[in-house]
Amino acid sequence: MIELKSKREIEIMAEAGLVMKQVFASIEPMVKPGVTTRELDEAAEKIIRGAGAKPAFKGYRNFPATACISVNEQVVHGIPGPRILKKGDILSFDCGVLLQGYNVDAARSWAVGTVSEVHAKLIRTARDSFLAGLDAYKPGSRIGDLSSAIQQCIESAGFQVVRDFVGHGIGKQIHEDPQVPNYGKPGRGARIECGLCLAIEPMVTEGHYAVEMLEDGWTVVTQDKKMASHYEDTIVFTEQGVVNLTCD
Ligand code: MG
Ligand code: MG
């Protein structure tokens, strides 16, 4: 069941979004060769708690950290740890903030030092496809209109779209209805109404989109071990159009 949010609920989520923006602004400059994924995670937790909020992922289905940090062929849900980042890595940082009972969820992929041209494009395409999805929205649109635009953007850039993980509604729960696939056909799926909050999160692969899970039960990697990127923001549809709660 899709739960539309009231103005008051959206205001709280926007405040949580401010904390998320602070996290990204602080973590991005730390993403350099030599830093460990654990250091990034600890810094994020400090910022979130310092703002009076909670890391939404910590303890969610027993996830042990504040952020999901995934490197290179890791697509999503990587566990922060002693891994040291090196030049040429792609770092995907996915984080949730819980404030006054409401969640926001957002992710960024960043280059560690300089990366190859194709990997820079892979990173860029995750964000571009997210924006293409938003661009496809007009009053009366359905979820499939956005999904299709996201897929088209990714595939026309020469990359592929992960099928096994999708975007989602968000609010009191991190994952609410509806699901928001990053592939699909226009005109399909639920109609988008004002007050709908979504976490839209394209996952883009350099090679084939097939993924598998590592033995830790969390980390999702590409089967062909080629690189992946991820971009996510929490957005809300209003009478005035789409408002992004986790990015200016
Ligand atoms: Mg996320
Ligand atoms: Mg999400």
pLDDT in tens, the chain (248 residues): 999 999 999 999 999 999 999 999 999 999 999 999 999 999 999 999 999 999 999 999 999 999 999 999 999 999 999 999 999 999 999 999 999 999 999 999 999 999 999 999 999 999 999 999 999 999 999 999 999 999 999 999 999 999 999 999 999 999 999 999 999 999 999 999 999 999 999 999 999 999 999 999 999 999 999 999 999 999 999 999 999 999 99
Q: Which CATH number fits the domain that encloses residue 147?
A: 3.90.230.10
Burial class (CB in 10 A: 0-12, 13-18, 19+), 20: buried
> What are the C-alpha distances in Å from 107 to residues 111, 176, 187, 246?
14, 18, 27, 9
Phi–psi pair at 146, nearest 5 degrees: -70, -45
- CB-based contacts of 192: which residues, under 8 Å, 6+ apart? 137, 140, 141, 142, 143, 146, 237
Helices and strands counted in the chain (H then E): 4, 15
Give the per-residue pLDDT at 97.
Answer: 98
pTM for the model: 0.98
* 121 inside domain: yes
> Residue 17 Cα, ligand 2 centroid: separation in angstroms?
14
- Which pair of tokens denotes residue 72? 């290179």
> Residue 229 Cα, ligand 2 centroid: separation in angstroms?
14
Which contiguous run of DSSP H or E holds residue 147?
Answer: helix 143-156
Number of C-beta neighbours around residue 248 at 10 A: 7
Give the per-residue pLDDT at 65.
Answer: 98
> Residue 91 Cα, ligand 1 centroid: separation in angstroms?
14
Ligand closest to Cα of 170 equals 2
Give the per-residue pLDDT at 201.
Answer: 98
* 69 inside domain: yes
* 23 inside domain: yes
> Residue 199 Cα, ligand 2 centroid: separation in angstroms?
5
> Residue 188 Cα, ligand 2 centroid: separation in angstroms?
21
Number of structural domains found in the chain: 1
* 13 inside domain: yes
> Residue 140 Cα, ligand 1 centroid: separation in angstroms?
26
Instruction: Lay out the sheet containing 160-161: strands in order across.
Output: 160-161, 203-205, 228-230
> Residue 94 Cα, ligand 2 centroid: separation in angstroms?
8
> Residue 176 Cα, ligand 2 centroid: separation in angstroms?
10
Residue 228 belongs to what domain range? 7-244
CB 234 within 8 A of CB 170: yes
Give the per-residue pLDDT at 105.
Answer: 99
> Residue 169 Cα, ligand 2 centroid: separation in angstroms?
9
* 1 inside domain: no
